[in-house]
Chain A
Amino acid sequence: MRKTPWIALLLLQLLFPLLLPAQDDLLNLLKDQKPPVNYTEATFKTSRIVIGQSIENPAQGNMLFLVTHHFGALNTGYSNLFGLKQAAIRIGMEYGLNKRLAFGIGLNTDKNTWDGFLKYKVLRQKSGGKKFPFSLSLFANTAVYTTKWENPDRKNYLSSRMTYCIQVLIARKFGSRLSLQITPSMVHKNLVPTSADHNDIFTLGGGGRMKISNRVSINAEYHHIFKGQVVSSKVYDSFSTGVDIETGGHVFQIFLTNSMGENEEGFLANTTGRWSKGDIFLGFNISRIFTIVKPKSFRK
């Protein structure tokens, strides 16, 4: 009688192959001990929120060709076709050197301004195996205008035409639709009109986007310029809002803004338009991505 439990156990053992794991258990077997790190992708569709920089870079080996176009002010009336007769255009390219670093160059029709920039992704939002709540990129540019000297008889310095901008871009993607960014900036002008004007101009801004479908989002961006920094001319905060439309390799951004400037210095420290007065400029960005260097596994 004492042996009965052992016989029962033996029977269990014999039956065990029939109790083999089902498919779900097999699937459990495939569970990773360490879940993979999931880097947040596409916080913004392209490298601009509206007119200012977003945390995004072109992917490694990819070149972004970007045309920025601002028409004249809407309040210039029919004689100026509500601004359609005027235009400021910046033609630029950006290239992703690696997963973090990108550089760009551009030419702006406003005072024939050339600019160059570097953008570096310092921190990346991630989930899964490693978690981090936001992305942080650093941006720095230099711009120089190259129109003829106003007083060619005088000794002129190229450096007096140079401006710089440094930005800290901090962004978070909330779910799949909403992304927000905070953008503190510093603009440095080598030469300012009067001694009362500051050479270093600080602004605090931000922006965001809300996807309304997989390919369309509504974006807005605002930059506040602190008082007392620019005194020789009246400057205002910059506000822009628009729509991103993505079609394959292109992103179209159509927007309204009170900033005519297309460089950071232009719209952060030199926005002379006011929404309330109708100094609103219609503008668009068209960007196109080209794969220049293929990922390793696709090289022949």
Chain B
Amino acid sequence: MKKYWILIIITVGFCINGFAQTYVTKNGMIRIYSEAPLEKIEAVNRQVNTALLVPTGDFVFKVLIKSFNFEKALMQEHFNENYLESDKYPEATFLGKITNIKDINFTKEGIYPATVEGKLTIHGQTHPVKQNGTLEIKNGAVTAKSKFNILLSDYNISIPNTVVNKISKSIEVTVEVMMTKLN
């Protein structure tokens, strides 16, 4: 009799836990872009880590600063050495939630609008953010996309006077991450 109980408990337990699902990726993409009169800055990171928990909507990002690749090697060096100080602050993180997760049907393919709210930490500075984007459900994978601007001053990233006109004060961030179910 005892054995049956164990079986039942495990089965029931698994069924209930089955409702919760985690989607993850280790090679999401983040592109940063800014255009100022003298200098165009563009960098791509294709090793972005993200995890999305359904049904709670918890959504986290972990980005290694050194994984941003620039067209100009020297710009990449300055980005790490002088602006983001990646030795001191090696990663950027986002801890947040998809607030309208209830409106998204993860069992039905389609593109759903999503609102994400949470805390973005870059260069050791945490700032609350709220952004809109989309979630695309296709072939069991979830692709989150968003495009927004962040202000360098929010993250204590200072621009020296000598190049203040060369560098834009805000940076456009494009996020595209395709996550698959974690087993």
Contact = CB atoms under 8 A, between A and B. Distances in A.
B50 A30 contact: yes
B87 A176 contact: yes
B58 A23 contact: yes
Contacts of B39: 248
B166 A295 contact: no
Contacts of A38: 66, 90
B24 A297 contact: no
B151 to A, nearest CB: 20
Q: Give the interface SS of chain B, mostly helix, strand, loop or mixed.
A: mixed
B56 A20 contact: yes
Given A13-B12, A23-B95, A62-B73, A6 B20 contact: no
Given A13-B12, A247-B163, A295-B71, A30 B60 contact: yes
B152 to A, nearest CB: 14
A36 interface: yes
A13 B77 contact: no
Nearest to A13: B13
What bracket does the count of chain A residues touching chain B fall in?
35 or more
Kindly list the 3 A-B residue pairs having the minimum CB-CB distance in the complex, ordered from nearest.
A59-B73, A13-B13, A30-B49
A158 interface: no
Nearest to A36: B64
A41 B80 contact: yes
A60 B95 CA distance: 36
Given A16-B13, A41-B80, A26 B22 contact: yes
B162 interface: yes
A294 B26 CA distance: 26
Of A36, A58, A248, A289, most buried by chain B (CB within 10 Å of CB) is A248
Contact of A26 (B53, B82, B87, B166): B53
Given A42-B81, A297-B44, A30 B51 contact: yes
B145 interface: no
A17 B20 contact: yes
A42 B16 contact: no
A88 B20 CA distance: 73
Contacts of B71: 291, 294-295, 298
A159 interface: no
A1 interface: no
